[in-house]
Structure 1
Amino acid sequence: MKIAIGADHAGFPLKEEVRAYVERLGHEVTDLGAYNAEPSDYPDFAEAVGRALMAGRAERGILICGSGVGVNVAANKMPGIRACMCHDTYSAHQGVEHDDMNVLVMGARIIGSALAFDLVAAYLNARFQKQEERFVRRLNKVKAIEARYMPEAQSDSH
Protein backbone atom coordinates (compact mmCIF):
# COMPACT_ATOMS: atom_id res chain seq x y z
CA MET A 1 0.00 0.00 0.00
CA LYS A 2 1.16 3.58 -0.65
CA ILE A 3 1.41 5.55 2.57
CA ALA A 4 2.08 9.29 2.96
CA ILE A 5 3.59 10.29 6.29
CA GLY A 6 4.20 13.69 7.80
CA ALA A 7 5.00 15.30 11.13
CA ASP A 8 6.01 18.62 12.57
CA HIS A 9 9.15 19.08 14.66
CA ALA A 10 7.52 17.61 17.78
CA GLY A 11 6.51 14.49 15.88
CA PHE A 12 9.72 14.16 13.89
CA PRO A 13 11.52 11.55 16.07
CA LEU A 14 8.45 9.28 16.23
CA LYS A 15 7.79 9.80 12.50
CA GLU A 16 11.26 8.50 11.73
CA GLU A 17 10.59 5.34 13.75
CA VAL A 18 7.11 4.86 12.27
CA ARG A 19 8.35 5.45 8.70
CA ALA A 20 10.98 2.73 9.10
CA TYR A 21 8.41 0.39 10.66
CA VAL A 22 5.91 0.90 7.81
CA GLU A 23 8.68 0.21 5.29
CA ARG A 24 9.61 -2.98 7.16
CA LEU A 25 5.96 -4.04 6.82
CA GLY A 26 6.46 -3.83 3.04
CA HIS A 27 4.56 -0.63 2.26
CA GLU A 28 5.73 2.16 -0.02
CA VAL A 29 6.22 5.28 2.09
CA THR A 30 6.33 8.88 0.91
CA ASP A 31 7.91 11.02 3.63
CA LEU A 32 6.53 14.56 3.39
CA GLY A 33 8.56 16.01 6.27
CA ALA A 34 9.55 17.40 8.61
CA TYR A 35 13.05 16.20 7.98
CA ASN A 36 14.53 17.44 11.28
CA ALA A 37 13.51 18.65 14.72
CA GLU A 38 13.83 22.36 13.92
CA PRO A 39 10.64 24.30 14.79
CA SER A 40 8.01 23.94 12.07
CA ASP A 41 4.28 24.47 11.55
CA TYR A 42 2.00 21.44 11.76
CA PRO A 43 -0.57 22.68 9.17
CA ASP A 44 2.07 22.44 6.43
CA PHE A 45 2.50 18.69 6.97
CA ALA A 46 -1.21 18.00 7.42
CA GLU A 47 -1.84 19.71 4.09
CA ALA A 48 1.00 17.83 2.37
CA VAL A 49 -0.36 14.45 3.47
CA GLY A 50 -3.93 15.45 2.59
CA ARG A 51 -2.87 16.61 -0.87
CA ALA A 52 -1.08 13.30 -1.49
CA LEU A 53 -4.30 11.42 -0.71
CA MET A 54 -6.48 13.80 -2.73
CA ALA A 55 -4.17 13.42 -5.75
CA GLY A 56 -4.11 9.63 -5.48
CA ARG A 57 -0.38 9.49 -4.74
CA ALA A 58 -1.15 7.68 -1.48
CA GLU A 59 -3.92 5.36 -0.34
CA ARG A 60 -3.59 6.25 3.33
CA GLY A 61 -1.81 8.77 5.48
CA ILE A 62 -0.14 9.00 8.86
CA LEU A 63 0.29 12.31 10.69
CA ILE A 64 2.16 13.00 13.91
CA CYS A 65 2.58 16.14 15.99
CA GLY A 66 3.15 16.70 19.69
CA SER A 67 -0.41 16.05 20.86
CA GLY A 68 -1.94 14.93 17.57
CA VAL A 69 -4.63 17.58 17.88
CA GLY A 70 -3.16 20.18 15.52
CA VAL A 71 -2.57 17.93 12.53
CA ASN A 72 -5.92 16.25 13.15
CA VAL A 73 -7.81 19.54 12.97
CA ALA A 74 -5.86 20.78 9.94
CA ALA A 75 -6.14 17.57 7.92
CA ASN A 76 -9.91 17.40 8.39
CA LYS A 77 -10.29 20.78 6.68
CA MET A 78 -9.51 19.10 3.36
CA PRO A 79 -12.11 17.43 1.13
CA GLY A 80 -12.10 13.65 1.30
CA ILE A 81 -9.80 13.48 4.31
CA ARG A 82 -11.03 11.51 7.29
CA ALA A 83 -8.26 11.93 9.84
CA CYS A 84 -8.69 10.46 13.31
CA MET A 85 -6.44 10.66 16.33
CA CYS A 86 -6.06 7.17 17.75
CA HIS A 87 -4.15 6.20 20.85
CA ASP A 88 -5.74 2.77 21.20
CA THR A 89 -5.70 -0.14 18.75
CA TYR A 90 -9.48 -0.60 18.72
CA SER A 91 -10.03 2.90 17.34
CA ALA A 92 -7.15 2.49 14.89
CA HIS A 93 -8.81 -0.45 13.12
CA GLN A 94 -12.45 0.36 13.83
CA GLY A 95 -12.02 3.84 12.35
CA VAL A 96 -11.12 2.23 9.03
CA GLU A 97 -13.63 -0.63 9.22
CA HIS A 98 -16.68 1.49 10.13
CA ASP A 99 -15.80 5.04 9.06
CA ASP A 100 -13.31 4.62 6.19
CA MET A 101 -10.68 6.65 8.07
CA ASN A 102 -7.83 7.40 5.70
CA VAL A 103 -5.38 9.26 7.96
CA LEU A 104 -4.11 7.91 11.27
CA VAL A 105 -3.09 10.69 13.66
CA MET A 106 -0.89 10.19 16.72
CA GLY A 107 0.57 12.43 19.40
CA ALA A 108 4.29 11.90 19.86
CA ARG A 109 4.23 13.46 23.33
CA ILE A 110 1.38 11.17 24.35
CA ILE A 111 2.44 7.71 23.17
CA GLY A 112 5.70 5.84 22.64
CA SER A 113 7.00 3.94 19.66
CA ALA A 114 5.79 0.48 20.80
CA LEU A 115 2.17 1.64 20.96
CA ALA A 116 2.60 3.65 17.75
CA PHE A 117 3.71 0.47 15.95
CA ASP A 118 0.66 -1.42 17.27
CA LEU A 119 -1.63 1.41 16.13
CA VAL A 120 -0.07 1.55 12.68
CA ALA A 121 -0.36 -2.22 12.22
CA ALA A 122 -4.03 -2.19 13.28
CA TYR A 123 -4.73 0.75 10.94
CA LEU A 124 -2.93 -0.63 7.91
CA ASN A 125 -4.41 -4.11 8.27
CA ALA A 126 -7.98 -2.83 8.51
CA ARG A 127 -10.36 -2.52 5.55
CA PHE A 128 -13.59 -0.56 5.23
CA GLN A 129 -16.51 -2.96 5.62
CA LYS A 130 -18.33 -1.82 2.50
CA GLN A 131 -20.55 -4.89 2.55
CA GLU A 132 -22.21 -3.49 5.70
CA GLU A 133 -25.04 -1.24 4.52
CA ARG A 134 -25.08 0.80 7.75
CA PHE A 135 -21.41 1.77 7.40
CA VAL A 136 -21.88 2.76 3.75
CA ARG A 137 -25.03 4.75 4.63
CA ARG A 138 -23.22 6.60 7.42
CA LEU A 139 -20.17 7.32 5.25
CA ASN A 140 -22.44 8.68 2.52
CA LYS A 141 -24.02 11.01 5.10
CA VAL A 142 -20.56 12.23 6.11
CA LYS A 143 -19.72 12.83 2.45
CA ALA A 144 -22.99 14.74 2.01
CA ILE A 145 -22.09 17.02 4.94
CA GLU A 146 -18.67 17.56 3.39
CA ALA A 147 -20.23 18.43 0.02
CA ARG A 148 -22.56 20.98 1.66
CA TYR A 149 -19.80 22.77 3.53
CA MET A 150 -16.84 22.20 1.19
CA PRO A 151 -18.16 23.08 -2.27
CA GLU A 152 -14.92 21.99 -3.92
CA ALA A 153 -15.32 18.49 -2.49
CA GLN A 154 -15.79 15.75 -5.04
CA SER A 155 -18.62 13.49 -3.97
CA ASP A 156 -17.01 10.08 -4.51
CA SER A 157 -13.33 10.89 -4.93
CA HIS A 158 -12.29 9.37 -1.60
Structure 2
Amino acid sequence: MHIAIGTDHAGYDYKEKIKVLLRALGHEVTDHGAFSDQSCDYPDFIFPVADAVAAGDADRGIVLGGSGNGEAIAANKVKGIRAAVVWDALSAEMSRRHNDANVLSLGQRMIAEADLDLIVRTWLDTSFEGGRHQRRIDKLEAR
Protein backbone atom coordinates (compact mmCIF):
# COMPACT_ATOMS: atom_id res chain seq x y z
CA MET A 1 0.00 0.00 0.00
CA HIS A 2 1.18 3.54 -0.72
CA ILE A 3 0.78 5.77 2.35
CA ALA A 4 1.13 9.58 2.31
CA ILE A 5 2.16 11.04 5.66
CA GLY A 6 2.41 14.57 6.99
CA THR A 7 2.59 16.50 10.22
CA ASP A 8 3.34 19.80 11.83
CA HIS A 9 6.09 20.22 14.42
CA ALA A 10 3.96 18.74 17.21
CA GLY A 11 3.69 15.32 15.55
CA TYR A 12 7.17 15.13 14.05
CA ASP A 13 8.61 12.49 16.40
CA TYR A 14 5.69 10.09 15.90
CA LYS A 15 5.73 10.66 12.14
CA GLU A 16 9.33 9.50 12.01
CA LYS A 17 8.49 6.38 14.06
CA ILE A 18 5.45 5.59 11.91
CA LYS A 19 7.52 5.86 8.72
CA VAL A 20 9.90 3.19 10.06
CA LEU A 21 6.96 0.93 10.93
CA LEU A 22 5.26 1.40 7.57
CA ARG A 23 8.41 0.60 5.63
CA ALA A 24 9.08 -2.45 7.82
CA LEU A 25 5.58 -3.67 6.96
CA GLY A 26 6.38 -3.30 3.25
CA HIS A 27 4.43 -0.12 2.52
CA GLU A 28 5.59 2.66 0.23
CA VAL A 29 5.72 6.00 2.06
CA THR A 30 5.62 9.54 0.72
CA ASP A 31 6.58 12.06 3.41
CA HIS A 32 5.03 15.50 2.86
CA GLY A 33 6.78 17.01 5.91
CA ALA A 34 7.34 18.68 8.23
CA PHE A 35 10.97 17.70 8.25
CA SER A 36 11.86 18.97 11.73
CA ASP A 37 10.22 19.84 15.03
CA GLN A 38 10.50 23.58 14.35
CA SER A 39 7.22 25.46 14.70
CA CYS A 40 5.16 25.44 11.49
CA ASP A 41 1.56 25.50 10.25
CA TYR A 42 -0.17 22.12 9.85
CA PRO A 43 -2.26 22.96 6.74
CA ASP A 44 0.98 23.28 4.75
CA PHE A 45 1.68 19.57 5.34
CA ILE A 46 -1.80 18.12 5.71
CA PHE A 47 -3.33 19.40 2.46
CA PRO A 48 -0.69 17.61 0.33
CA VAL A 49 -1.44 14.33 2.11
CA ALA A 50 -5.20 14.72 1.61
CA ASP A 51 -4.72 15.80 -2.00
CA ALA A 52 -2.57 12.73 -2.70
CA VAL A 53 -5.20 10.38 -1.28
CA ALA A 54 -8.08 12.14 -3.04
CA ALA A 55 -6.22 12.03 -6.38
CA GLY A 56 -5.41 8.33 -6.00
CA ASP A 57 -1.67 8.98 -5.79
CA ALA A 58 -1.70 7.36 -2.33
CA ASP A 59 -3.99 4.60 -1.07
CA ARG A 60 -4.32 6.14 2.38
CA GLY A 61 -2.91 8.97 4.45
CA ILE A 62 -1.69 9.50 7.98
CA VAL A 63 -1.59 12.99 9.47
CA LEU A 64 -0.31 14.05 12.85
CA GLY A 65 -0.19 17.01 15.16
CA GLY A 66 -0.48 17.79 18.85
CA SER A 67 -4.09 16.62 19.17
CA GLY A 68 -4.89 15.45 15.63
CA ASN A 69 -8.01 17.62 15.57
CA GLY A 70 -6.81 20.49 13.40
CA GLU A 71 -5.17 18.01 11.07
CA ALA A 72 -8.43 16.07 10.61
CA ILE A 73 -10.33 19.31 10.03
CA ALA A 74 -7.83 20.34 7.34
CA ALA A 75 -7.81 16.94 5.64
CA ASN A 76 -11.60 16.76 5.64
CA LYS A 77 -11.80 19.98 3.64
CA VAL A 78 -10.56 17.98 0.63
CA LYS A 79 -13.40 16.28 -1.27
CA GLY A 80 -13.26 12.51 -0.98
CA ILE A 81 -11.36 12.48 2.30
CA ARG A 82 -12.71 10.81 5.40
CA ALA A 83 -10.17 11.65 8.10
CA ALA A 84 -10.76 10.27 11.58
CA VAL A 85 -9.13 11.36 14.82
CA VAL A 86 -8.11 8.15 16.55
CA TRP A 87 -6.79 7.65 20.08
CA ASP A 88 -6.67 3.87 20.58
CA ALA A 89 -6.89 0.59 18.67
CA LEU A 90 -10.69 0.37 18.97
CA SER A 91 -11.27 3.85 17.55
CA ALA A 92 -8.82 2.98 14.76
CA GLU A 93 -10.73 -0.22 13.99
CA MET A 94 -14.12 1.47 14.00
CA SER A 95 -12.92 4.36 11.81
CA ARG A 96 -12.16 1.81 9.12
CA ARG A 97 -14.92 -0.74 9.76
CA HIS A 98 -17.83 1.73 9.82
CA ASN A 99 -16.50 4.94 8.25
CA ASP A 100 -14.00 3.70 5.67
CA ALA A 101 -11.58 6.37 6.91
CA ASN A 102 -8.91 6.93 4.29
CA VAL A 103 -6.88 9.30 6.45
CA LEU A 104 -5.80 8.53 10.00
CA SER A 105 -5.30 11.56 12.25
CA LEU A 106 -3.20 11.15 15.37
CA GLY A 107 -2.28 13.48 18.21
CA GLN A 108 1.22 12.98 19.54
CA ARG A 109 0.26 14.70 22.80
CA MET A 110 -2.79 12.43 23.20
CA ILE A 111 -1.40 8.95 22.53
CA ALA A 112 1.23 7.04 24.48
CA GLU A 113 4.15 6.03 22.30
CA ALA A 114 3.73 2.44 23.47
CA ASP A 115 0.27 2.36 21.81
CA LEU A 116 1.31 3.87 18.48
CA ASP A 117 2.26 0.68 16.60
CA LEU A 118 -0.95 -1.15 17.54
CA ILE A 119 -3.10 1.82 16.52
CA VAL A 120 -1.42 2.15 13.13
CA ARG A 121 -1.37 -1.60 12.45
CA THR A 122 -5.05 -1.93 13.40
CA TRP A 123 -6.02 0.94 11.11
CA LEU A 124 -4.04 -0.51 8.22
CA ASP A 125 -5.35 -4.06 8.70
CA THR A 126 -9.05 -3.33 9.23
CA SER A 127 -11.40 -3.56 6.27
CA PHE A 128 -14.52 -1.53 5.62
CA GLU A 129 -17.68 -3.52 6.41
CA GLY A 130 -19.80 -1.96 3.68
CA GLY A 131 -23.47 -2.87 3.96
CA ARG A 132 -25.51 -0.22 5.77
CA HIS A 133 -22.32 1.79 6.27
CA GLN A 134 -21.85 2.17 2.51
CA ARG A 135 -25.16 4.00 2.30
CA ARG A 136 -23.79 6.57 4.77
CA ILE A 137 -20.51 6.94 2.91
CA ASP A 138 -22.47 7.52 -0.30
CA LYS A 139 -24.35 10.36 1.40
CA LEU A 140 -21.07 11.92 2.52
CA GLU A 141 -19.62 11.65 -0.97
CA ALA A 142 -22.74 13.17 -2.57
CA ARG A 143 -22.45 16.34 -0.49
Q: TM-score range by the shorter chain?
A: over 0.9
Q: Do the aligned residues in 2 keep the contact of 1:47 with 1:74 (CA within 8 Å)?
A: yes
Structure 1 counterpart of 2:136: 138
Structure 2 counterpart of 1:15: 15
Q: Structure 1 runs of 4+ off > 4 angstroms?
A: none
Cα RMSD after superposing both structures: 1.0
Following superposition of structure 1 onto structure 2, how do residues 1-158 of structure 1 map, counting pairs within 5 Å? 1-130=1-130, 132=131, 134-144=132-142, 146=143
Measure how far apart 1:113 and its partner are. 2.2
Give, in whole Å, the separation in 2 of the partners of 1:96 and 1:86: 11
TM-score (normalised: structure 1): 0.87
> Which runs of 5 or more structure 1 residues have no equivalent in the other structure?
147-158
The amino acid that maps onto 1:12 is Y
TM-score (normalised: structure 2): 0.96
Give, in whole Å, the separation in 1 of the partners of 2:78 and 2:116: 24
Give, in whole Å, the separation in 1 of the partners of 2:83 and 2:114: 21
| Equivalenced residues, count | 143
The amino acid that maps onto 1:137 is R
Give, in whole Å, the separation in 1 of the partners of 2:51 and 2:60: 11
Structure with larger Rg: 1
Give, in whole Å, the separation in 2 of the partners of 1:112 and 1:35: 22
Measure how far apart 1:44 and its partner are. 1.1
Question: Percent identity among equivalent residues?
Answer: 45
